[in-house]
Each structure stands twice: as structure tokens, then as C-alpha cells.
Amino acid sequence: MASLSPWTRYSLCRSLRYCRSSASSVLFSRDLLRNQNGIAGSGSSRDNCTEAPSPSSSDGKQKASSGKAVTISRAMRAYMERAKAHDDMMKAEVADYEIGKRHLANIMGEDPDSFTQDDVNRAIEYLLPSGLFEKRARPMMKDPYEIFPKKKAAQFGLDGRPYHWLYFTTSPNYYALLYDIAWKMEDLKAEEDRLAEEKDGKPDREKESSDFTLARSEWITHQRLKDLLVENVPEKEYRHFLVLMERLAAHPLAYKMEEFIATYREPIAMQSQTLEVPQIEVDSDGRSFATASGKRKKCAATVRVFKPGSGKVVINGEDLQYFSNFVYRESLLFPLSLTGLVGEVDIEAEVQAQGGPTAQAGAIRLAVSRAVTAFVDESIREDLRLAGMLTEDPRTKERKKPGQEKARKKFTWKKR
Amino acid sequence: MRERLVRVAGGMMKSLSRTAYLCVANDVKQGSSRCLSSVAEPKQSNLRQVFRTSEDDPRAHTLDHVGLFYKIPETEVNSMFKGCIHPWHLRLMNTFNEHCLMVRKPSVEVNGYLKNMNFNHPVPKFVYYGRRGAGKVCSLLHTMHFCARNDWIMVHVPWAGQWVRGWNKEVAESTHKPGRFDLPMDAAEWLSHFRIQNQNKLKDLKTTSEYIWTKREKADVGTPLDEIINFGLNRFKFSSDCVGVLLKELRLQAAEKGFKVLVAINSVNSFFVPWSKENTLKNSEKKQVLPHEVSLVHNFKKMLSPTWNNGAVVCTVNEGSNDQSLREDYTPQYLLGQEGFEWFDPFVPILVPEYSSTEALSCLSYYIDRNWIQNEHGRTEEGMKEIMFVSNRNPFNLYKVCSSL
């Protein structure tokens, strides 16, 4: 490796780095390595590698030690030039980033050597505060490899011949995938015929009851397929892919292709399993409680739910009388009656007294529902979620517009 | 049917805390023992005893009866309690076809004090206070019932706030003292209320001094109080003065003649806190009339002074009778204000709390018994818990929640 020209070595390192970073760039690194092998293979000995292609050679020909000239196609040369330019640019960017990070650490008065990306984010947020709604529009400082889009490696060798047999379809990976699916389908059909002959038309019952099911997962998204193939797949082609996969999965013997199908499916996680359940703590009196907070409109509430309790409710130091209207008390009752904990837990709520009673009651209800999840089992938690108790209400007051009386209302229009 | 109900009751008991369970169980036991003395009560215990007591006499009510409903006889409702029960409560009672009150701890406590009081001392004063709808007036009614059964003379003001509010009321310059104002209609109304409440108790009461109404009309010494009342009702102009005379005679004669007087005033804080809304009382010059300038209020305030004995004062203080800005707290000290507090001092404040879980359960059982709760879920244990939660066990809120079920 050390004998490679500097830029090639660098790009190799980069490719290895990609190897670690994400599965989608495996293709890239593989191609690049194949690229190197191709170079090595074209010469007769390892020494050839030392004279590996250099874009600086003007005539595009290299003298190998054996005396045979290695032809580099024009396309390859152009690619190499582009790749070098890109790598140089990235190197400069990385250097800039490193130095910038150290500057930032000094500005923040922290140790530059142990300054992590999290610290950078924090520093940027502190030094350049931004109220822009879109997070990606706010100022940021990140590793250049995270910011600049990835480049696809060369798809052809020095002689200008493409590696992939479907190169001229312009989407080789995509069509290779369709090809795979089609052949798997054929395999299944052949298998089915064979089984029909063997078993006299009786399908394999015992195997059929295996746990192959599509219910717990879904097909990968369009974007995910694009990432996987490192190719632009139009919407229409994606739908074509889905049709073929559906057909394959619907085959009675599809369980034999389970592994293949699974690579194009993503598991569906139960929403309530992904919820964060608050920890049960124990206070100085030995009572167990859970703490949670909730929001509604502009109001935020923090709630402690004690179990066992006697149904006592304390809101900002008052009892339920805090809400004079029954509607608000009922809204607090709902998560409790759903979980069957009415009269069995004590609730202590701190709510900001800003905003109306609806907002306050809504915030407390959300917080209570979240806290109560600590004391109930999985199925009830799922019930709570399905009832919408664990979902934050995102609605807020719409802003008033200039030139209008209110958010939507217009001034009275007079003809003259 | 009975078995089913008992089973429901058993389920409820299970869910209650142990103390509550013991309380109910205790009562069932006592109920059966009480039955021996009462008339033709079946011996076996049924669900009714969980929320109802056969002991109709408030004199016999003890802490064992707390949380149980007792029935007030029809005759007393039409005499003693006429105009005393709040309209919504009376409507509810009429709907239920019986007049039941719950025995609650505050009134049992006060009745106990009245039972063992040394009446040679200046009048004792008790003030019921508590949240709105917590049952202050019902506690007062229970105390009044207790005193009425003991043949006390009732001096009862159903709602003192009426005397400081206007609604185009007739306000006249006082005939007795300039600078004070009479409310002829209100005074006459009160006189008739007084007469109804004390129908057979005023026979041998006569005036002890001479009262001159006008140059020609006067009441000699020894005029029966009945006649004074009649005079006030016939001559509205002097009704306020008649009230003054009546109260003065009661004060003077209570100790001498040996009859006892109960002064029961609902929302007594209106006597001390000016009502400054649009409907405030105004005199002929369109100036606001302050409470202490109203002769009725002046006369009744004298009943609160410790200048007489052989009687008792039991009042309530009520947030609702104060201005909107003066409703932050429900304690007597806050509601009476500095002047009222000093006037009342010393007194025994009695807190009327919200229902305990036993009381709330008893009330709900009563409502279910009367078919007031018709919703199927509302009759289950789970539903009862929900009602208790939403109403926060406040008696009035409990009624409001249940009235739509």
C-alpha cells in the first residue's frame, strides 16, 4: 500500500473509512479495491503497482517493467482527475475543520484535544444563536465527509471496460437486483414442481407453518432503496421493484427465500415499545412514584404520580378545585379510568399558571398519562397510546398577520 | 333484588379503606341495635342501613350516624324548615319524595356542644365555614332541627345577603332613628318567617316595656309578642322596629323566663362587608346604603353581642355573599373582615369539609336508591369512583355531576 501514489493511498483509506461508516458505501469500496486489483492484474508483477496510473502522464501510457504498455482510457483519466480534485478539496476541508475545531475550543475556553463534535454543536448554538425553524438552515460545523455528498467510484477499468455487465443500462445495480429477483422466482417455481412430483401434489405442510411472515415488517422505502443501490431509482422503477418483490413473497415457498426477502424489509417496531417509560423512584417516606412532564399549547406541567395512593390530587398546592369546570377534571380522569387506577394513585402536579385552563389541564393530562405508564403493563400502555393519551397535541395559537385583523380574519372590506 | 344490592355494597366495601369499612360495618351493627327501640323496623339488616338511618331525632345523632341520611317529617319541613332549604336542594328533596338530610360531623359536633353547654355564660358563638357547596347550610339546618326538637325559639335568617342587596327594593328612612334605613318588605317577610318557625312557642311571651310607634299608636307593657308581630305585618312602615322590639324582648327574657333562643344566620359576613355591585341598596338620594346603616342588620348584630345569655348563635360565612374581589379565601377571619371578626370574637369556627369517601359513597348510594343516577355505568363501583373524582367529593358538585347521569 505504501508504494501507491499518495492520492490513491488516500482514497483507499477513505474507502476503508466508508467501509466502517455505512453499508451503502460497501459498493464503493469494493469497486475501488477492484480498481486497484485491476491495475495490479494488468501488470505481471507487484512492481507494476509502484508505477500505478498517474493522471500526470500525458500520453496515457505507462511503461511496465515487462515492457508492455498499459493503456489508460480517456474516460478513466478524466475520472482520476476528478477524483484527485475531489480528494484534495476534501483534505483541505478536513484540515480546515480540524483547525476550526481547535479555534472554537479556545474560544470556549476548553481543551482543544478533547473537544468532541457534541461540544462543537453546543458551542455553535451558543455563539451563533438562531431562531430559524428549519434545523438544517441553522449554522453548523460538521465533519466535511458528513456535509459533502458521497462520490461513486469508477465503474470501469483502466482500459475503459465497465466492470458491471449491466453497465450500459445506466442503472446496473437496480437491474441486477431485478434480475436476481426474477431468477429466485424461477428457482422457487422449479422447487415447487419438484415437490409436486415428489409428494404427489401435496405441499409441504410442516414447513409451511414456519414463522415466515410479512406482518412484522414492511418493504424498504424508496429513499432506502436508492441509498442501498447508490443509484437514482425513479418512482416508477421503485414500484416495479415492489411488484416483483410482492410476487416473490406471495409464493407458497417464499420462506425458502426468507433471507433474501429480509434484506429488503424493515421491521415495524410497536410504537409503545419505543416509548420512554419513566423510572419508578422511591421517596423518603418509602412511597414509589414516577415523574413525567407534558405540554399543551404554551403550558408545561410536571407531575409526580404516587402509587399506592388514595386518589388525592394536588395541583399547584390546591386540590382538584383548581379546575372549576368539570370538563377539565374529566380530562384528568381519562388516563386514570383507562388504566383502572382511579382512586389508587396520588397525583402531584406543578403547572405554569400561564395560558387557559384547557392548556393547563391538557398538559397535566399528558404528564399524568406518561407517568402512569411506569405502573402499568405493556398492553395497557398500548391502549393508552391508541387512545391518544401519550401523543402531544402540536396545535398552538396561530400568529396574527400584518394587514389582517387576526390570524385569518381580514379587515372589513369597503368598496369606497 | 336485595341480594344483588347487598353484593354491590360488599364490593364497594372491599374497595374502601379499612377504616371506612369498619365504620360502615359498625353502623350496620348499631343500626340493628337501634332498631329495637324504634317502631316496627324489620330486624334484618339490609342495604338501606349503609346510607340511611332510622333515627329521625337529631338529638340522638352521634358520631356513629355520620354519613347517614335521616328523614325529616313532612310537618317540620312545612313549618320549621319553610324557606330555610336552598331552592335546588328543596327541588331535589321534592323529586325524591322525601326530605332527607345527611348527618355530618360538624353539626354533630356543634349539637354536642349545645347539649352540654352552660347557658349562664354569655351566648356561645359558632361559625360554620368551608368551601362553596361543602354543606354549611345543611349543617346549620341540622343544628336548627336539633334546637327545634329541644323547643328552642328560632331566630333564623335564611340568607343575610338579601338585606344588603337592592333589586329595586323599597328603602325608607328609619322611623326610630335618623341616619338609619328600614327595609319594610324584608322586615315583614322575616316577621312572618319567624312566626311560622315559632308557631306555638310565643304564647306566653309579653313585652316588658312600652313602645310608642306614633303619637296615637303604642304598645303597652305586657303586650303579647304575637301582637307585635301582627302589628309589624299590618303596618309595614314599622316592621323593622317590630323586629328590633322582638329581638330585644327575646334577649331580655331568655334568661328570666328560661326559654332558649337559637340565632341562626346564614352568610353572616354580609352584615360586615359592603356590597358594592350595581344592585346595592340605595337610599332616596341614590347614595349607597352600607350594611351598618340598615336597621335590620343593626338589630341582628345586637344578637351577636355577648350581652345576653341562655341562647346560642350559630352562623355560616359564605364566599358568595362577598364581592368578587373578596372571595380569595373561605376562612371566617378573611370573610368577616376586621370589623366582623372583632364583633364576633370570641367564637368557635367549625370547618365543614368536603365529603369523606364514606360519606360520598353513602350519598351516591342514596342517589342510586332514589333512581337519581340512571346511567348504568354510574351505578357500578368504577363509575362511583369516577363521579367522586370529578366532583372532588364536594356535595354540591356531586349533585351537579349526578344530575346529568
The helix, strand and coil proportions of chain A, stated in percent and rounded to the nearest 5, come to: 50, 10, 40
Question: CB distance from A321 to chain B under 8 Å?
Answer: yes
Q: Which of B359, B399, B404 is nearest to B86 (CA)?
A: B399
CA neighbours closer than 13 Å in the CB half-sphere of residue B44: 5
Q: How near does any CA of chain B get to the CA of A291, in Å?
A: 21
What pLDDT, on the 0 to 100 scale, is given for residue A72? 80
Residues making up chain A, counted from first to last: 416
All three cell numbers of B225, joined, read 309578642
Rg (CA), chain A: 32
Question: CB distance from B400 to chain A under 8 Å?
Answer: yes
Instruction: Give the Cα separation of B65 and B77 in Å (integer).
Output: 21
Asked if the peptide bond before residue B73 counts as cis, ω within 30 degrees of 0, the response is: no
Task: Kindly report, residue by residue over A112-145, the tens digit of the pLDDT.
Answer: 999 999 999 999 999 999 989 998 899 999 999 8
Largest CA distance in chain B: 75
Q: How near does any CA of chain B get to the CA of A307, in Å?
A: 15
Q: Among B390, B391, B394, B399, pick the best mutation site for testing chain A contact (most A Cβ within 10 A).
A: B390
Helix (H) or strand (E) holding B262: strand B261-265
CB-based burial, A68-77: b 16+ in 10 Å, e otherwise: eebebeeebb
> Which residues have a Cβ under 8 Å from the Cβ of A182 and sit 6 or more positions away?
A244
Instruction: Give the Cα separation of A242 and A309 in Å (integer).
Output: 54
Map out the domains of chain A with their CATH numbers: 6-147 (no CATH), 168-267 (no CATH), 280-386 (3.30.230.10)
Number of Cβ pairs < 8 A linking chain A and chain B: 37
> Which residues have a Cβ under 8 Å from the Cβ of B115 and sit 6 or more positions away?
B59
> Which residues have a Cβ under 8 Å from the Cβ of B107 and sit 6 or more positions away?
B138, B139, B140, B142, B143, B146
Q: Among B385, B397, B403, pick the best mutation site for testing chain A contact (most A Cβ within 10 A).
A: B385
Instruction: Give the Cα separation of B347 and B349 in Å (integer).
Output: 6
Q: Provide the edge-to-edge strand list for the sheet that holds A299-307.
A: A280-282, A288-296, A299-307, A346-351, A313-315
Q: How near does any CA of chain B get to the CA of A328, in Å?
A: 9
All three cell numbers of B163, joined, read 338585606
Question: CB distance from B392 to chain A under 8 Å?
Answer: yes
In chain B, which residues have their Cβ closer than 8 Å to the Cβ of A336? 389
Q: Which of B346, B336, B272 is nearest to B124 (CA)?
A: B346
Q: Are B376 and B399 in contact (CB under 8 A)?
A: no
Which single residue is written with the C-alpha cell 352552660?
B118
Task: Kindly report, residue by residue over A316-343, the tens digit of the pLDDT.
Answer: 998 898 998 999 999 999 999 999 999 8
What pLDDT, on the 0 to 100 scale, is given for residue B38? 37
Q: Is A328 helix (H, G, I), strand (E, B) or coil?
A: helix
Residues in chain A, pLDDT under 50: 1-64
Which single residue is written with the C-alpha cell 416483483?
A244
How many beta carbons lie within 10 A of that of residue A63, not counting itself?
A: 11
- Whether residue A337 and residue B388 make contact (CB cut-off 8 A), yes or no, is no
Q: Are A158 and A54 in contact (CB under 8 A)?
A: no
Q: Are A353 and A301 in contact (CB under 8 A)?
A: no
All three cell numbers of A362, joined, read 391538557
- Nearest residue of chain B to residue A319 (CA atoms): B392
Q: How near does any CA of chain A get to the CA of B152, in Å?
A: 38
Question: CB distance from B131 to chain A under 8 Å?
Answer: yes
List the single residue in A313, A320, A343 with the smallest CB-CB distance to B385: A343
Q: Among B327, B386, B403, pick the best mutation site for testing chain A contact (most A Cβ within 10 A).
A: B386
Helix (H) or strand (E) holding A304: strand A299-307
Instruction: Give the Cα separation of B83 and B197 in Å (integer).
Output: 10
Q: Where are the beta strands (DSSP E) in A103-261?
A: 217-219
List the single residue in A313, A319, A342 with the smallest CB-CB distance to B386: A342
Instruction: Give the Cα separation of A153 and A15 in Å (integer).
Output: 9
Residue A75 amino acid letter: A
Q: Is A412 helix (H, G, I), strand (E, B) or coil?
A: coil
Residue B135 amino acid letter: G
- Whether residue B382 and residue A342 make contact (CB cut-off 8 A), yes or no, is yes
CA A226 to chain CA centroid, nearest Å = 14
Task: Kindly report, residue by residue over A208-250, the tens digit of the pLDDT.
Answer: 556 778 888 899 999 999 989 988 999 999 999 999 999 999 9
Instruction: Give the Cα separation of B132 and B149 in Å (integer).
Output: 28
Rg (CA), chain B: 23
Q: Are B350 and B113 in contact (CB under 8 A)?
A: no
CB-based burial, B352-377: b 16+ in 10 Å, e otherwise: bebbbbbbbbbbbbbbbbeebbeeee
Q: Are A296 and A393 in contact (CB under 8 A)?
A: yes
- Whether residue A321 and residue B15 make contact (CB cut-off 8 A), yes or no, is no
Instruction: Give the Cα separation of B116 and B123 in Å (integer).
Output: 14
List the single residue in B386, B397, B400 with the smallest CB-CB distance to A333: B386
CA dihedral B9, B14, B19, B25 (to 10 degrees): 40
Give phi and psi for A221, each to the nearest 5.
Answer: -75, 170
Instruction: Give the Cα separation of A229 and A408 in Å (integer).
Output: 47
Classify residue A313 by its DSSP letter.
Answer: E
Question: CB distance from B388 to chain A under 8 Å?
Answer: yes
All three cell numbers of A329, joined, read 377534571
A 342-371: CB under 8 A from B = 342-343
What pLDDT, on the 0 to 100 scale, is given for residue A208? 55
- Nearest residue of chain A to residue B383 (CA atoms): A337
Asked if the peptide bond before residue A308 counts as cis, ω within 30 degrees of 0, the response is: yes
Instruction: Give the Cα separation of A69 and B273 in Å (integer).
Output: 113
Q: Is A162 helix (H, G, I), strand (E, B) or coil?
A: strand
ipTM over 0.90: no
Helix orientation angle between B18-37 and B357-369, rounded to the nearest 10 degrees: 60
Q: How near does any CA of chain B get to the CA of A334, in Å?
A: 9
Instruction: Give the Cα separation of B267 and B159 in Å (integer).
Output: 6
- Whether residue B392 and residue A320 make contact (CB cut-off 8 A), yes or no, is yes
CA distances from B277 to B159, B164, B165, B166, B289 (A): 17, 10, 9, 9, 12
Q: B311-316 and B125-129: which strand pairing?
A: parallel
Largest CA distance in chain A: 98
Q: Are A73 and A158 in contact (CB under 8 A)?
A: yes
Instruction: Give the Cα separation of A401 and A407 in Å (integer).
Output: 6
pLDDT along chain B (405 residues), means of 10: 40 39 38 37 42 88 91 89 90 92 93 91 93 92 92 91 83 85 91 90 87 86 88 90 91 87 92 83 84 90 90 92 86 90 90 92 90 89 90 92 89
Q: How near does any CA of chain B get to the CA of A312, in Å?
A: 9
- Nearest residue of chain A to residue B400 (CA atoms): A326
**A391: left (phi > 0), else alpha (psi -120 to 50), else beta?**
beta
